[in-house]
Structure 1
Amino acid sequence: MGLFRKSPEELLMREALRLARATAETPRPTAQGGGGGAETRWRGASRVLRSMASWVPGLGSPRRDLNSGERSMLVARSRDAMRNHLVARAAIMRLRTNVVGTGLVCRAQVDHEALGIDEKAAERLNAQLDRLWSLYADDPRECDAEASLNHYQLQALVLVSAMVGGDVFIATPDAEREGCLYSTRLQLIETDRVSNPGSMLDSEWLVDGVEFDTLGAPVAYHVCTGYANELNRRTPLSWQRLPVFGATTGRRRVLHVMADKERPGQKRGAPYLSPVLEPLQKLERYSSAELMAAVISAMFTVFIKKNSEFDAGNLPLSALGDEYTDVASEPGDLQLGEGAVVDLGRGEEPVIANPARPNAQFDPFFMAVVKEIGAALELPADELLLHYNSSYSAARAAMLQAWRFYSLRRWWLACDFCQPSRELIIDEAVARGLINLPGYADPARRKAYCQAIWIGPARGAIDELKEANAAGKRIEIGVSNETLETAAMTGEPWQQVYRQRLREVDQRRAAGLYSPPKGATPEPAAAPQQPDEE
Structure 2
Amino acid sequence: MDVQILDSRGQPMASSYQGATSGFGNQLQDWNPTLQTADAALLPTLDMGNARADDLVKNHGYANGSIQLHVDNVVGSLFRLSYKPNWRTLGISEADARDMAIDVESAFREHAEDPVNCYFDAERKRTFTMMVREVVATHATFGEAMSAAEWITRSGSLYKTAIKMVSPKRVSNPHRVRDSRFLRGGVEQDIHSSAIAYHVINPNYGFGESISNLSYGEWKRIPRETSWGRQQFIHAFEPREDGQTRGANQFLSVMEQLFMVDKLQMTKLQNSVVNAMYAAVIESDLDSETAQQMILGSGEQSQKKLTDWLAFTGAYHQGANVKMNGAKIPHLFPGESLNLKTPGNADNGFASLESAILRYIAAGQGVSYEQLARDYSKVNYSSARASMMESWRYFMGRRKVIASRWASNCFALWLEEAFSRKILTMPKGAKYNFYERKAAWCNSEWIGSGRLAIDGLKEVKEAVLRIESGLSTYEKELAVMGEDYQEVFNQQVRETEERKRAGLPPPSWMQVTALNEQTESVETTGETA
- Distance (whole Å) between structure 2 residues aligned to residue 172 and residue 109 of structure 1: 23
**Contact residue 112 and residue 119 of structure 2 kept, 8 A:** yes
Q: CA deviation at 1:115?
A: 3.2
Shift of 1:230: 3.3
The match for 1:159 among 132, 136, 154 is 136
**Mapping of 1:249-268 within 5 angstroms?**
249-258=228-237, 260-268=238-246
AA of the residue aligned to 1:95: H
8 Å contact from structure 1 (residues 104, 454) kept in 2 = yes
Aligned to 1:206: 183
Aligned to 1:59: 35
* Match of residue 192 from structure 1: 169
2: CA distance, partners of 1:351 / 1:52: 52
Whether 1:244 aligns to 2:237 is no
Supply the distance in 1 between the matched residues of 2:282 and 2:41 (Cα, whole angstroms): 62
Q: Alpha carbons of 1:222 and 1:352: their partners in 2 closer, same or farther (altered >3 Å)?
A: farther
Helix, strand or coil: the match of 2:235? Answer: strand
Of 460, 485, 498, the match for 2:489? 498
Gap change, CA 1:456 and 1:314, over 3 Å in 2: same
What per-residue deviation string (whole Å, max 9, x for no partner) do you get for residues 404-443 of structure 1? 1111111122343100000100011112210111556354
User: Are 1:379 and 2:367 counterparts?
Assistant: yes
Q: 1:505 to 1:319 in 2, by over 3 A?
A: farther
For 1:298, the equivalent position in structure 2 comes to 276
Return the alpha-carbon distance in structure 2 between the equivalents of residues 174 and 376 of structure 1. 40
- Partner AA of 2:51 in structure 1: A
Contact 2:70 2:140 in 1 (8 A): no
1:84 CA displacement: 1.8
Calculate the TM-score normalised by the size of structure 1. Answer: 0.80
Tell me, yes or no, if the aligned pair for 1:166 and 1:191 is still in contact at 8 Å. no
Matched, 1:476 2:454: no
Query: Please, which moves more after superposition, 213-222 or 226-235?
Result: 226-235
Task: Give 2:145's match in structure 1, choosing from 168, 176, 190.
Answer: 168
Which residue does the alignment assign to 1:462? 454
Contact 1:194 1:223 in 2 (8 A): yes
CA distance in 2, matches of 1:189, 1:152: 16
Residues 136 and 403 in structure 2, CA contact (< 8 A), matched pair in contact too: no
Query: Equivalent of 2:57, from 82, 86, 89?
Result: 82
1:148 aligns to what?
125
State which of 61, 67, 80 in structure 2 corresponds to 1:105.
80
CA–CA distance in structure 1, aligned partners of residues 264 and 181 of structure 2: 45
Report matched runs for 1:128-143 at 5 Å.
128-139=103-114, 140-143=117-120
Per-residue displacement from partner, 1:134-161 (whole Å, max 9, x unpaired)?
Answer: 1321135311111111111011111111
Aligned to 1:277: 255
Distance 1:310 1:225, change over 3 A: closer
Q: 1:101 to 1:318 in 2, by over 3 A?
A: farther
Seen in structure 2, the aligned counterparts of structure 1 residues 51 and 504 have a Cα distance that, compared at 3 Å, is same
Which amino acid in the other structure matches residue 97 of structure 2?
A: A
Q: Of residues 333, 355, 369 in structure 1, which corresponds to 2:357?
A: 369
Which stretch shows the higher mean deviation, 345-354 or 47-56? 345-354
Greater alpha carbon shift after TM alignment, 147-156 vs 444-453: 444-453
Equivalence for 2:403: 414
Deviates more, 1:228-237 or 1:175-184: 228-237
**1:402: Cα distance to partner?**
0.7
CA positional deviation for 1:117: 3.4
Cα distance, 1:130 vs structure 2: 0.9
Distance 2:346 2:483 in 1: 48
Match of 1:388 in 2: 376
Which deviates more from structure 2 when the two are superposed, residues 368-377 or residues 192-201?
Answer: 368-377
Displacement of 1:345: 11
Q: Distance in 1 between matches of 2:186 and 2:310?
A: 76
DSSP 3-state at the match of 1:90: helix
- Maintained 8 Å contact 1:305/1:346: no
Higher relative contact order (CA 8 A, sep 6+): 2
Q: Which residue is equivalent to 1:15?
A: none
Distance 1:354 1:50 in 2: 49
Contact map agreement 1:255 1:416 (CA 8 A) in 2: no
Q: Which moved more, 1:307-316 or 1:270-279?
A: 307-316
Q: Distance in 2 between matches of 1:345 and 1:122?
A: 97
Deviations 1:122-181 (A, max 9, x none): 222111101221132113531111111111101111111122123232011111111111
Question: Are the structure 2 counterparts of residues 61 and 317 from structure 1 closer, same or farther at C-alpha, using a change threshold of 3 Å?
Answer: farther
Partner of 2:522: none
Bigger CA drift: 304-313 or 199-208?
A: 304-313
- Unaligned runs of at least 5 residues, structure 2: 1-5, 285-308, 324-331, 519-529
Identity of paired residues, percent?
Answer: 29
Aligned pair in 2 of structure 1 residues 141, 90: CA closer, same or farther (>3 Å)? closer
Per-residue deviation, residues 7-29 of structure 1 (Å, max 9, x unmatched): xxxxxxxxxxxx9xx75xx6x58
Q: Number of residues paired by the alignment?
A: 468
Counterpart of 1:225 in 2: which secondary structure? Answer: strand
Unaligned runs of 5+ residues in structure 1 are: 1-18, 30-38, 322-343, 525-534
The amino acid that maps onto 1:291 is L
Q: Describe the SS at the equivalent of 2:250.
A: coil
CA contact (8 A) 1:82 1:88 kept: yes
1:96 maps to what in 2?
A: 71
**Aligned equivalents of 2:469 and 2:214: distance in 1?**
69
Report the Cα offset of residue 313 of structure 1: 4.4
In the alignment, which residue of structure 2 is the partner of 1:399?
388
In structure 1, distance between residues paired with 2:333 and 2:43: 60
- Name the aligned partner's letter for residue 454 of structure 2: I
Residue 211 of structure 1: CA displacement?
A: 0.5
- Evaluate the alpha carbon distance shift between residue 312 and residue 253 of structure 1 in structure 2; reply closer, same or farther with a 3 A threshold: closer
SS in structure 1 opposite 2:221? strand
Classify the secondary structure of the residue corresponding to 2:239. coil
Q: 1:227 to 1:376 in 2, by over 3 A?
A: farther
Does 204-213 or 116-125 show the bigger shift?
A: 116-125
One of 243, 247, 265 as aligned partner of 1:287: 265
Q: Indicate conservation of the 8 Å contact 1:194/1:208, yes or no.
A: yes
Bigger Cα displacement from structure 2, 380-389 vs 292-301: 292-301
SS of equivalent residue, structure 1 residue 273: helix
RMSD: 3.3
Amino acid paired to 2:90: L
In 2, Cα distance between equivalents of 1:318 and 1:143: 78
